[in-house]
Amino acid sequence: MVAAMSDAAAPFAPGACPRLVVKIGSSLLVDREGAVRREWLAGLADDLAARHAAGQRLVIVSSGAIALGARRLALAKGGRASLEDAQAAAAVGQIALSQAWAELLGARGLAAAQMLVTLDDLEDRRRYLNASATLGRLLSLGAVPVINENDSVATAEIRFGDNDRLAARVGQAAGADGVVLLSDVDGLFTANPARDPCATLIERVEAVHAGIRAMAGADSGSGMGSGGMASKLQAAEIATRAGIALAITSGTRANPLAAFAADGRGTLFVANGRARARQGWLGGRLTARGRIRVDAGAVAALRAGKSLLPAGAVGVEGRFERGQVVDITGPDGAVVARGLAEYPAAEAALVAGRRSSELADLLGHAPRSALVHRDHLVLL
C-alpha cells in the first residue's frame, strides 16, 4: 500500500499524478567503492512497485553508469579524468546499471526497459516526437523505462551534462504530471546548510526567479555526480514551464519515495498551467541556433501575445534557417522568448528594423508577416 501523502507530496500521489518521473543521482545509487547500493536500491524498487500497483506509471532517470564503470576499469577520478575515460566507463557501467534495474524491478513483477539518449535526441523535434511515442507505448504496456544519458557517445556539444535537466525533458516527452529529483540534500535551502547553521529549507517555490537562483550552490554534496543545485533549479524551470510539478527531496533515506509521501520534506516547485506541446518543447530546450535582439516595444508586444515583427528587431546573431529555434533577447540582453524563425538568418538581418511595406522590395519576393509567429513562440 502507498502511504497517505503529506500536503507537500500530494501532487505526486498516484491519484493526482498518473505519470511520474523519478531521477536518482550517482551518489545515491553507487557507493564510494564503485558498487551498486543494492539494499537501498531494493527499498526504492519496493516504493516503485507499490506506486505501480496503485496505478501510477513510472519513468526512471538513473545516473551511475560512469561511476560503476570506473571501478571495473580502475579509472582515476571516478572515470571523469577525461572525456575518453568517461565514455569508456559509461560503456562498461551501463551494462551493470541496466542489469541491477532489470533484476530488482523484475523481482517485483515489473518489466524494465532501457533508453539511452543524447541532447540532440530531445532537442531535434522529430527525434523528440519519436522518443515521446516510444515512452508512451512502453508506459501503456506497463513497462518501466529506465533512462540515462548516452555517455559512451556524448561529447560536450551534445550533452545534457546532468540528469536533472534530462529528467525534466523526459517528463515533457513522457507526458508526465510530476518529476521527483532524489538528491543527497533535503531540498533547496536559503544557504548551504553544511556551512550555515541558520540555513532553512524552502518548502514551496511558486516561480524560479533571480532570488531563488542566488540560493543555489555550485556543487553537490558527494562530488560523484555532475549536477548541483543550480542544475536542479534549471530542471525545475523546464518542468514547471511545461505544467509539470517538480520536487527535490532527500534520497539518502531508506524507501525514499515512501518517506517523502509520509512527511513531505523537500522543496516543491509549483507547476504553471499546462503548456501546449510545441510550446512546452520550445520552452524546455537547452540550445538555440541564433538570436534576434529586439527593442522594448517588441518585448511589450510579445508579452501581450503578439508575433515578432521585423520592425521590432534591432539585430540578428548566429546562423539559422527557417524553422530552426532562435532566442529573442530584450534591450538588456536577457532572453525573453524562444521560437521558430520564419526567415533564415541572412534575410532576418536584412529586414530587421524595417516596416512591412519595405519588405517585398528588400527581399525580392512576397514577405512573411513575422520574424517569429506567435503560434511558434513561447515566453521565458
Residue 245 has pLDDT above 60, yes or no: yes
pLDDT score, position 156: 59
Using the predicted structure, report yes or no on whether residue 80 has a pLDDT greater than 90: no
d(CA 42, CA 166): 24
Q: What is the pLDDT of residue 219?
A: 45
Confidence of residue 5 (pLDDT cuts 50, 70, 90): confident
- What number is the average pLDDT over the span 77-103? 93
Percent helix, percent strand, percent coil in the chain, to nearest 5: 40, 20, 40
Query: Which of 95, 153, 87 is CA-nearest to residue 120?
Result: 153
d(CA 165, CA 12): 19
Residue 257 has pLDDT above 90, yes or no: yes
Q: What is the mean pLDDT of residues 64-92?
A: 92
Task: Inform me whether the pLDDT recorded for 224 exceeds 60.
Answer: no
Q: Which residue has the higher pLDDT, 220 or 336?
A: 336
Task: Indicate the angle between helix axes 256-263 and 38-53, nearest 10 degrees.
Answer: 60
Which whole number is the average pLDDT over 264-286?
A: 81
pLDDT reading at 306 higher than 50 = yes
pLDDT of residue 148: 94
User: Which residues pair with residue 22 across a beta bridge?
Assistant: 60, 180
Report the residue count for the chain: 380
Per-residue pLDDT at 221 exceeds 70: no
Is residue 3 scored above 80 in pLDDT? no
Q: Which domains does the chain have, with CATH numbers?
A: 10-272 (3.40.1160.10), 278-379 (2.30.130.10)
First to last CA, the chain: 40
- 101 vs 361, residue with greater confidence: 101
pLDDT in tens, 139-160: 999 999 999 998 888 665 446 7
SS3 213: helix
C-alpha cell at 335: 532572453
pTM > 0.75: yes
Closest CA to 105 of 132, 144, 51: 144
218 has pLDDT over 50: no
Residue pair 144/113 in contact (Cβ under 8 Å)? The answer is yes
Nearest C-alpha neighbor of 19 from the set 216, 171, 185, 213: 171
pLDDT above 50 (res 1)? no
pLDDT at 227: 54
Residue 17 identity: C
Q: Phi first, then psi: give them for residue 379, nearest 5 degrees.
A: -80, 145
Give the pLDDT score at 159.
Answer: 62
Provide the sign of the torsion angle of the four alpha carbons 287, 292, 297, 298, taken in this order. negative
- Judged against a pLDDT cut of 70, whether residue 268 lies above it is answered with yes
Counting residues of the chain whose pLDDT is more than 70, the rounded percentage is: 93
The conformation of residue 308, written as its DSSP 8-state character, comes to: B
Residue 223 reports pLDDT greater than 80 = no
Tell the residue number behind the cell numbers 519515495, with chain if given: 257
Selected residue with higher pLDDT from 18 and 285: 18
The phi and psi torsions of 256 (rounded to 5 degrees) equal -65, -35
- Say if CB 201 and CB 188 are below 8 A apart: yes
Instruction: Provide the mean pLDDT of the chain.
Output: 89
Report the distance separating Cα 26 and Cα 228, nearest Å: 12
pLDDT value at residue 217? 59
3 state DSSP class of 318: strand
